[in-house]
Amino acid sequence: MLANKLCQLLNIQYPVIQAGMVWVSDWHLSSACSNSGILRTLGLWSMGHEEIELNIGKMNEHTKNPFAVNIPLLRPDAADIVRISHAAGVSIFITSAGNASCGRYRGQ
């Protein structure tokens, strides 16, 4: 691991984050990054809840390395996606398409 705060915080080898990309960064791409030492991000914008659980399960199956999920705040079920992902063991969340500090998202 590099002597880098981001690497230490995320427990990754290199300070590189694979972007969350709808339709693209499902578990196939993200697992392929698993042994490269960077942070993988599951892009789940297009996925229903079952598909999200399946993708997280596959990620957990294919690597022990940490990964993030992208939470698009435009989705009305964004808080549910956080709950589902957290219950499946995810601890890194990258929000997009909205402002997490806005009142709409607080307390959900």
Ligand X SMILES: Cc1cc2nc3c(=O)[nH]c(=O)nc-3n(C[C@H](O)[C@H](O)[C@H](O)COP(=O)(O)O)c2cc1C
23-61 in b/e form (b: 16+ CB < 10 A) is eebbbeebbebbeeebbbbbbbbebeeeebeebbebbee
24 touches ligand X by CB under 6 A? yes
Looking at the Cβ atoms of 21 and 32, the one nearer to ligand X is 21
CB of 9 to ligand X, least distance (A): 19
Q: How is residue 14 annotated by DSSP?
A: S
Binding mask 31-70 for ligand X (x = CB under 6 A): ------------x-x------------------------x
Number of helices (H) and strands (E) in the chain: give both, helices first: 4, 3
Closest residue by beta carbon to ligand X: 96
21 touches ligand X by CB under 6 A? yes
* Coil vs helix vs strand at 43: strand
Select the span of 15-23, 26-34, 56-64, 85-93 touching ligand X (CB under 6 A): 15-23
| CA–CA distances in Å: residue 66 to residues 7, 13, 42, 62, 81 | 11, 11, 11, 11, 18
CB of 19 to ligand X, least distance (A): 3
Residues of the shown chain interacting with ligand X in the complex, contacts defined by CB under 6 A: 19-22, 24, 43, 45, 70, 72, 96
